[in-house]
Amino acid sequence: MSLTLSARDEAMLAGQAGEAARMAMRILVTMARVTDATHLLDISSAHIDGCLYHGQSGLEFAERLLEGGARVSVPTTLNVGAIDLLHPEYFQGSEDQAQRARRLMQLYEAMGCRAVWTCAPYQNAQRPSFGAQIAWAESNAIVFANSVLGARTNRYGDFLDICAAITGRAPAAGLHLSENRRGQLLFRLRDIPERLKREDVFYPVLGYLVGARSFLKIPVIDGLPMGVTEDQLKALGAAAASSGATALFHAVGVTPEAETAEAAFQNTQPEKIIDVAMDDLRDALKKLSTAPDGDIRVVALGSPHFSIEEFSRLMPLIKYLPAHKDVEFIVCTNRQVFSELQKRGWLDDLERAGAQIVVDTCVVVSPIVRAPSGVLMTNSGKFAHYAPGNTGLEVVFGSLEECVRSAALGRVWRDEILWH
C-alpha cells in the first residue's frame, strides 16, 4: 500500500516548518510505511515518555529537536521523569545522573509540553473524549485511554511520541482504526465470589492473568460487576500491559465500546474462549510475588500514580497503623494530588505515619529506595512485575490493607479469607 501525504505533511517533510518538524515528519513517515498506513491523521493530544532519562541518546535527541526549533502543536503532557523536582533529596543516584535527568525534563518543557510529570495523565481535568485520536506513550496510560475513555492511540514509545506531538500527526494504523479495535479473546469469569470482585486487589491480579494470556490479542472480559471504579480499571489495565502487551481491553457492560459482548466483538465470534476460575486467579496471584512471606524492607504504592480516591482509602488505615521505623513506606503520585493532600491536611498525617510522598517520578524508574536489598511489598501489579529487575529487591504482592498492616509489623500480614 502506498502512503499519501497531505500538502501540510509534504511541507513539513521539505523543512518549511523548520528542522525539528522536518526530522519529526521523516520519522513518522518511516513508521507509517512500516505499519502499512495509507495516510496520516490529525491528533488532538499527546503524552510523552521520552522525558524519562535512560541514557545520553535520549538527551542528545531532545537537544537536537530543540536546536531545530521544536514546539509541540497539540496539547501535550509529560510522563514521569527520573527525579522528583520538588524533593530532589530523595534521589539516591549520582549528582551527574540527577543533572542529566533534570536537563532532559527541562528540554521537553521548553518544547511546550505541560509539566504534569505523571504516568496517569487521565487523572487530570483535561483528558481525551470518546473517539479522540491521540498519540500517547506510557503503557498504562495507553491502555486506560483506549479502554476506559474510548480514545484511540497506538503504543507510542520514546522519540515517536514527541514526533507526533510536534507535527500533530500520526500514522492511520493499528488502534486508530475501528476495525482493529475488535475484541479477539473472550475471558469469562466463572464462579468468582461477588465479594472478591468488589475488592481493589482483584483487579491487578485479573489484569496480570489477562495480559499474560492475551499478549498481542485484544481481550474481552465478561463478568465484571456494575459500579467498577476507574481506579480498579486503571489497576487492571496497568497489570495487563505489564504481563503482556495489552493496549486495549473491553469489559462487557463496563467500558464504552462493550455495551454488549456482540458490540465488543463487532458482531463476530471470539477466536478463543477462556474461562477464569478461582484457581486461575490464585495462580496469577502467586506469580506476582518473587519471595515468600516474611520480613519486608519497603512498601511501595502508586504505580500508576495514586489518585486522591486511593489516598482516601489509605488514610484511615495508616492513621492507626503507622509504618515500622525499619520499613520505607513510599507512595508515588502527581502534583495535582499532592496539592490536594496539602489542602486536606493529609500530607502532614501521612508524614507523621512514616509515609514518604514522591511526585514527578516513581521508585521503579528512579533510584529512590534506600534499602540495598530485601523485600519490597506492593499492591500494584505493575510495581510487582518490574520491581525485581529495576530495583534489585524481591517483591511480595498484596492488598492495600495487607501492605499497610505489613508495613506496621515489618513482616507480611495476610487476610486469610481474601482468596478463599
Average pLDDT (27-50) is 97
**Does 366 lie in the same domain as 255?**
no
Tell me if 253 is assigned to some domain. Answer: yes
**Does 151 lie in the same domain as 61?**
yes
**Does 216 lie in the same domain as 322?**
no
| pLDDT value, residue 420 | 86
Is the per-residue pLDDT at 278 higher than 80?
yes
Tell me if 142 is assigned to some domain. Answer: yes
**Does 95 lie in the same domain as 58?**
yes
**Does 78 lie in the same domain as 187?**
no
| pLDDT value, residue 196 | 97
Nearest CA to 204 among 229, 232, 177?
232
CA distance 351 to 13: 52
Tell me if 419 is assigned to some domain. Answer: no
> Each residue of 48-89: pLDDT tens digit?
999 999 999 999 999 999 999 999 999 999 999 999 999 999
> Each residue of 293-325: pLDDT tens digit?
999 999 999 999 999 999 999 999 999 999 999
Q: Which domain holds residue 259?
A: 182-287
**Does 192 lie in the same domain as 174?**
no
> Each residue of 185-238: pLDDT tens digit?
999 999 999 999 999 999 999 999 999 999 899 999 999 999 999 999 999 999
> Each residue of 334-383: pLDDT tens digit?
999 999 999 999 999 999 999 999 999 999 999 999 999 999 999 999 99
User: What value does the mean pLDDT of the chain take?
Assistant: 97
* DSSP secondary structure of 17-58: T-HHHHHHHHHHHHHHHHTT-SSEEE-S-EEE-TTS--SHHH
> Which residues contact residue 302 at a Cβ distance below 8 angstroms, ignoring those fewer than 6 apart?
310, 330, 331, 332, 333, 358, 362, 380
> Each residue of 185-197: pLDDT tens digit?
999 999 999 999 9
Q: What is the CATH classification number for the domain harbouring 98?
A: 3.30.499.10
> Which residues contact residue 420 at a Cβ distance below 8 angstroms, ignoring those fewer than 6 apart?
none
Number of domains in the chain: 3
* DSSP secondary structure of 171-228: ES-GGGSGGGG---EEEEE-S--HHHHTSTTHHHHHHHHHHHHHTTSPEEEE-PPTT-
pLDDT-based confidence at 124, cuts 50/70/90? confident
E strand or H helix at 298, and its extent?
Answer: strand 298-306
The letter for the amino acid at 236 is L
**Does 225 lie in the same domain as 155?**
no
Tell me if 2 is assigned to some domain. Answer: no
**Does 308 lie in the same domain as 204?**
no
CA distance 339 to 342: 5
The C-alpha cell at 390 is: 529495576
* Dihedral, CA of residue 122, residue 127, residue 133 and residue 134, to nearest 10: -50
**What predicted TM-score, i.e. pTM, was given to this entire model?**
0.97
Query: In the listed set 179, 194, 221, which residue is the last one of a domain according to the structure?
Result: 179
**Does 322 lie in the same domain as 393?**
yes
Query: In the listed set 254, 287, 320, which residue is the last one of a domain according to the structure?
Result: 287
**Does 160 lie in the same domain as 33?**
yes
The letter for the amino acid at 193 is P
| pLDDT value, residue 350 | 98
* Dihedral, CA of residue 37, residue 151, residue 143 and residue 168, to nearest 10: 50
**Does 16 lie in the same domain as 158?**
yes
Q: Find out whether 50 and 158 touch, Cβ atoms under 8 Å.
A: yes
Tell me if 370 is assigned to some domain. Answer: yes
Tell me if 415 is assigned to some domain. Answer: no
| pLDDT value, residue 390 | 94
**Does 353 lie in the same domain as 269?**
no
- The pairing of strands 219-222 and 169-171 is unpaired
How big, in percent rounded to 5, are the helix, strand and coil portions of the chain?
45, 15, 40
96-105, 125-134, 161-170: least confidently modelled range: 125-134
| pLDDT value, residue 125 | 67
Q: Find out whether 171 and 37 touch, Cβ atoms under 8 Å.
A: yes
Q: In what order do the strands lie in the sheet with 272-276?
A: 250-251, 219-222, 185-189, 272-276
Is the per-residue pLDDT at 1 higher than 90?
no
